[in-house]
Structure formats: C-alpha cells, structure tokens
C-alpha cells in the first residue's frame, strides 16, 4: 500500500471558537444562537474569543443579533452569489475564512443545510467532523474539544477527539443546546471579507424556490408536544393523542414504534432518527422510554409520562408520572383540560 503522508499542522496557530451562523432569506436559524450559547462556554474555558461566520446576501443585520447572543466577533461575507444556499460557494467561503483566520473549533447546526456544508468543509480541510453531538466540553488538561454523541444505535455515548487536525468540527441538532439569554445592546467587532468566487464558476443555479406543501409539523419549534407510542395498541386509538394535543394547543409527536405501525407519519417522530425537541411540556403516552426516544426529548422543561408499567424507563426522566391505563387517563385529561382552558378562554 502506498504510504500516505499528511502535512503536520502547527496546532498553536489555530485559535478561537466559531459558530457558522445559518440563515435563510435573512432569517437566522435559531440553532445558530443555541450554538453561540455553548460556544461562549467553550471559548471561556479556552480563554479565547467567540466568533461567528455569517454568509449570505443582505444579512449584515444578523451580526448585531450574533453579538447580542454572545459573539465577540463576526466574519461577514455578504455577496449576491450567497443569496440562496448552494453548497459550492458557501463551502468555498467557509474554507477561505477558516484558512485565513484559523479557528480551533467550528460548530454548525445539524440542519439540512449544516449537514451538507459541514461535510464538504471538513473533507476539504482534511479534518474530523462529529455529527449530531449532544454534549461539547473542553478537556481541562489537553484543551481539546470533547465531542459526545450517541453511538451504536444510541446504546452508548461516545466521546470523540480531533487530536491533530484543525479545526475541530462538530454539528449539533436544533434544540439540543439551550437558547442563551439575549443581551440587547451587547456589541462586538465586524470583519468584512470578500467571497472570492465568481458566478460563472458556480455550476449550480437556483431557478426557483418552491415551498413544500403540506409540511406543517414543526416539532422542534413546538412548546407543547403530546406524543403517543405503541401502548396505544391500534391506529384508531391515536385519535386520543390528537384530541389531547388539540385541547392543549399542542403538536402531535410519536415514538418510532407508532410511526412504523403506520399510525402516524414519520415527520411526527421524536428521537434519535426523528426530531430532537425541547418543549415546555412533553407528554409521553404509552411510550416505554427507549434510549433512542429519550435522547430526542429528555431536555424538555416538564415531562409527563403515562404508562401502565411502573418500571418503564420513561419514568426515570419524567417530572410527573401517571401509572395506569392510558385508555382511561387520556380521555379524562382531555376532558378536564378542555373544561379548564375553555373556562379561562385560552
């Protein structure tokens, strides 16, 4: 086999924690601010600055928002070529910025866009990338980024280090990290950079933007989620979940077992292979609490679990647990919520 020799990097030349500030049409993806929250802590532990990489067209107003959410410095590439997301110019822009300013850590949201971009950037820079991290910390001795994520179907948590490549890159799903407090009036430094790409060099052209019709399930933004699992027994009973969700003005969620049974569509699935959620209230009804479900909802503010098995794992993460038959409990709750919320006019 031919010997592969890799350039040895001068690791000390890389400094600072960066967050890719994702936006679409000038509107920031909330995960960008969530990442600034965790990035602030990492930067503090390393004694370095927190930077934001902002690419787009007509997006300078978002720099101020980034400062308000904790960034010390924003690197802005504002160019008509970056109006709509295309892998090539965005990747070129990010790679140019990273090569020039050499951050030691780069975080991106594990969104459709972030997943696409991060892979290309990491490949081009020949560095490591840990996808879907659930915890990010600095090793106090080695000063490396500890990137923790579920592995082997969620049965273990793996902590991954990028020891001798830079930057250390990780993606995090929306809602996994808490939203930091917004400090209005907080300022920082804005550094404007040229994209350095010509339209003729970009092979992909955006002809039209088409909104996907009927996609109305936004679990990651929901404040109240009522989820049902296999314990419902059959498709018809899933109506109990829908009625409770309706009474509370909430969104319907589901375990994978319920989705696989065909009781509800896959865009309602919560968990490792579904959506990660962080609502104010999460109802887990007839859901056992498998680790792959828990990783997607356990950081909800309040968790109400209803299960007939007192030993179900879901009770370990529940704020309130109701042991009993969901067929009796759920209609009673729906009735009572309807009555109380109805009388208060909510």
Ligand X SMILES: Cc1cc2nc3c(=O)[nH]c(=O)nc-3n(C[C@H](O)[C@H](O)[C@H](O)COP(=O)(O)OP(=O)(O)OC[C@H]3O[C@@H](n4cnc5c(N)ncnc54)[C@H](O)[C@@H]3O)c2cc1C
Is the alpha carbon torsion for 39, 41, 42, 43 positive or negative? positive
Q: Is 274 in the site for ligand X (CB under 6 A)?
A: yes
User: Which residue, 335 or 340, has its beta carbon nearer to ligand X?
Assistant: 335
The Cα–Cα gap between 293 and 256 comes to 8
Stretch that binds ligand X, among 31-39, 68-76, 201-209, 321-329 (CB under 6 A): 321-329
Q: Is 286 in the site for ligand X (CB under 6 A)?
A: yes
CB of 273 to ligand X, least distance (A): 4
Can you tell me which of 42, 305, 312, 317 binds ligand X, judged by CB under 6 A?
312
Can you tell me which of 41, 86, 221, 308 binds ligand X, judged by CB under 6 A?
308
Q: What share of the chain is helix, strand, coil (3-state, %, to 5)?
A: 35, 25, 45
Cα separations (Å) of 286 from 61, 231, 239, 246, 320? 46, 4, 13, 18, 14
The Cα–Cα gap between 96 and 114 comes to 17
Q: Is 256 in the site for ligand X (CB under 6 A)?
A: yes
User: Which residue, 71 or 219, has its beta carbon nearer to ligand X?
Assistant: 219
Q: Is 287 in the site for ligand X (CB under 6 A)?
A: yes
User: Which residue, 93 or 150, has its beta carbon nearer to ligand X?
Assistant: 150
CB of 227 to ligand X, least distance (A): 8
Q: Is 290 in the site for ligand X (CB under 6 A)?
A: yes
User: Which residue, 168 or 171, has its beta carbon nearer to ligand X?
Assistant: 171
Q: Is 70 in the site for ligand X (CB under 6 A)?
A: no
CB of 269 to ligand X, least distance (A): 6
Contact (CB, 8 A) for 157 and 148: yes
Contact (CB, 8 A) for 53 and 31: no
Q: How far is CA 164 from the centre of its chain?
A: 26
CB of 268 to ligand X, least distance (A): 10
- Which 175-234 residues touch ligand X, going by CB under 6 A? 229-231
Q: Is 265 in the site for ligand X (CB under 6 A)?
A: no
Q: Is 257 in the site for ligand X (CB under 6 A)?
A: yes
Stretch that binds ligand X, among 18-26, 80-88, 119-127, 282-290 (CB under 6 A): 282-290
The Cα–Cα gap between 115 and 228 comes to 29
Can you tell me which of 32, 111, 147, 272 binds ligand X, judged by CB under 6 A?
272
Residue for token pair 């690197």: 75
What is the crossing angle of helices 61-68 and 30-46, to 10°?
50
Stretch that binds ligand X, among 13-21, 43-51, 115-123, 304-312 (CB under 6 A): 304-312
Can you tell me which of 162, 251, 288, 298 binds ligand X, judged by CB under 6 A?
288
DSSP run (H or E) holding 28: strand 27-28
| Closest by Cα among 15, 82, 79, 21 to 49 | 15
Contacts 24+ apart (CB under 8 A), 27-30: 28/62, 28/65, 29/109, 29/111, 29/113, 29/174, 30/174, 30/179
Interface with ligand X by CB under 6 A: which residues?
Answer: 153, 229-231, 255-258, 269, 271-274, 286-288, 290, 292-293, 296, 306-309, 312, 325-327
């Amino acid at each position: 086999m031919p010997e592969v020799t890799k350039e040895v990097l001068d690791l000390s030349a890389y400094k600072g924690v960066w967050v890719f500030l994702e936006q679409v049409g000038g509107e920031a993806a909330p995960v960008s601010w969530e990442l600034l929250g965790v990035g602030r802590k990492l930067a503090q532990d390393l004694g370095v600055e927190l930077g934001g990489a902002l690419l787009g067209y007509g997006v300078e107003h978002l720099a101020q928002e980034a400062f308000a959410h904790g960034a010390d410095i924003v690197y802005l590439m504002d160019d008509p070529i970056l109006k709509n997301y295309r892998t090539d110019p965005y990747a070129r822009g990010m790679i140019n910025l990273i090569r020039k300013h050499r951050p030691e850590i780069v975080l991106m949201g594990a969104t459709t866009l972030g997943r696409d971009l991060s892979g290309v950037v990491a490949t081009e820079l020949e560095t490591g990338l840990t996808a879907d991290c659930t915890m990010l910390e600095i090793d106090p001795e080695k000063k490396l980024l500890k990137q923790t994520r579920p592995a082997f179907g969620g049965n273990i948590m793996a902590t991954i280090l990028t020891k001798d490549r830079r930057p250390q890159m990780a993606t995090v799903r929306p809602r996994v990290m808490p939203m930091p407090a917004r400090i209005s009036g907080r300022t920082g430094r804005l550094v404007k950079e040229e994209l350095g790409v010509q339209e003729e060099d970009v092979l992909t052209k955006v002809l039209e933007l088409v909104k996907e019709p009927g996609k109305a399930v936004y679990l990651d933004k929901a404040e109240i989620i009522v989820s049902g699992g296999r314990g419902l027994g059959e498709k018809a009973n899933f109506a109990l979940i829908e009625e409770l969700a309706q009474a509370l003005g909430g969104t319907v969620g589901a375990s994978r077992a319920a989705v696989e049974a065909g009781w509800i569509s896959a865009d309602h699935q919560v968990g490792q292979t579904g959506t990660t959620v962080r609502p104010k209230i999460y109802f887990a009804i007839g859901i056992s609490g498998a680790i792959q479900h828990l990783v997607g909802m356990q950081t909800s503010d309040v968790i109400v679990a209803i299960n007939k098995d007192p030993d179900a794992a879901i009770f370990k993460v529940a704020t309130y647990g109701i042991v009993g038959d969901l067929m009796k409990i759920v209609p009673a709750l729906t009735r009572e919520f309807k009555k109380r919320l109805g009388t208060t006019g909510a």
